Amino acid sequence: MLGLFTSFRIFILFFSLTLSFISCTREPEIKKPNAITVGSLADAKRLLPLLASDSASAEISGWIFNGLTKYDKNIKTVGDLAESWDISPDGLQIIFHLRKNVLWHDGAEFTADDVLFTYSTVIDPKIPTPYSSNFGPIDKVEALDKHTIKVSYKEPYAPALESWGMGILPKHILQYKDITNEYYIRNPIGTGPYKLKEWVTGQKIVLDAFDSYFEGRPKIDRYIVRVIPDTATMFLELKFGGIDFMGLTPPQYKLQAGTDFFNKYFHKFRYPSFGYTYLGYNLKDTKFSDQRVRQAITHAINKKDIITGVMLGYGTPCTGPFPPESWAYNPDVKDLEYNPEISRKLFREAGWAKGQSGLLEKDGRPFEFTVLVNQGNEARMKIAQILKENLKAIGITMNIKVLEWQAMLHEFIDKKRFEAVIMGWALSRDPDIFDIWHSSKTKEGEFNFISYRNDEVDTLLLEGRRTFDFEKRKKIYRRIHEIFADEQPCTFLYVPDALPVLHMRFKGVEKAPIGIWHDFIRWQVPKNKIEWYN
- Residues in Cβ contact with 250 at an 8 Å cutoff, skipping those fewer than 6 apart: 310, 311, 312, 313, 314, 315, 379, 499
pLDDT tens profile 38-65: 999 999 999 999 999 888 999 999 999 9
The pLDDT value given to residue 258: 84
Distance of alpha carbon 501 from alpha carbon 113, whole angstroms: 41
Between the alpha carbon of residue 354 and those of residues 339, 358, 395, the distances in Å are 18, 5, 7
pLDDT at res. 32: 87
Q: Which CATH architecture has domain 275-497?
A: Roll (3.10)
pLDDT at 164 over 60: yes
**365-366 and 368-374: which strand pairing?**
unpaired
Assign 533 a pLDDT band (cuts: 50, 70, 90).
Answer: confident
Q: How confident is the model at residue 1 (pLDDT cuts 50, 70, 90)?
A: very low
Please give the Cα distance from 534 to 528 (Å, whole number): 10
Q: Calculate mean pLDDT across residues 23-37.
A: 80
Which residue from 275, 273, 277 is spatially nearest to 491, judged by alpha carbons?
277
What is the CATH number that goes with domain 24-41+193-270+499-533? 3.40.190.10
Task: Write the pLDDT tens digit of every residue in 242-294.
Answer: 999 999 999 999 988 888 888 999 999 998 889 999 999 999 999 999 999 99
The string of pLDDT tens digits covering residues 98-115 is 999 999 999 999 999 999
What pLDDT score does 24 carry? 52
Position 26 scores a pLDDT of 66
- The tens digit of pLDDT for each residue in 249-259 reads 999 999 888 88
The pTM of the full predicted model, rounded to 2 decimals, is 0.83
Tell me which CATH code domain 66-172 carries. Answer: 3.90.76.10
Residue 30, pLDDT score: 84
Give the pLDDT band of residue 10 (cuts 50, 70, 90): very low
Span 371-390, average pLDDT: 95
**How far is the C-alpha of 411 from the C-alpha of 449, rounded, in Å?**
12
Segment 440-444 mean pLDDT? 94
13: pLDDT strictly greater than 50: no
User: Given this model, what pLDDT does residue 277 score?
Assistant: 97
pLDDT of residue 39: 96
To the nearest whole number, what is the mean pLDDT of the chain?
A: 92
Instruction: Give the separation between CA 286 and CA 65, rounded to whole angstroms.
Output: 42
Q: Report the distance separating Cα 61 and Cα 381, nearest Å.
A: 28
Q: How confident is the model at residue 28 (pLDDT cuts 50, 70, 90)?
A: confident
pLDDT for 3 beyond 80: no
Residue 31 CB neighbour total at 10 angstroms: 11
pLDDT surpasses 50 at 220: yes
> What 3-state DSSP class applies to 151?
strand
d(CA 220, CA 244) in angstroms, rounded, equals 13
pLDDT of residue 303: 97
Cα(48)–Cα(190) distance, integer angstroms = 9
Contact call for residues 70 and 165 (beta carbons, < 8 A): yes
pLDDT of residue 2: 36
Residue 364 gets which letter from DSSP? T
Domain boundaries, the chain: 24-41+193-270+499-533, 66-172, 275-497
User: Once rounded to an integer, what is the mean pLDDT over residues 451-480?
Assistant: 96
- HSE (side-chain half, CA atoms, 13 Å) at 502: 21
Q: How far apart are CA 229 and CA 407, in angstroms?
A: 13
Averaged pLDDT, 350-356: 93
The pLDDT of residue 25: 57
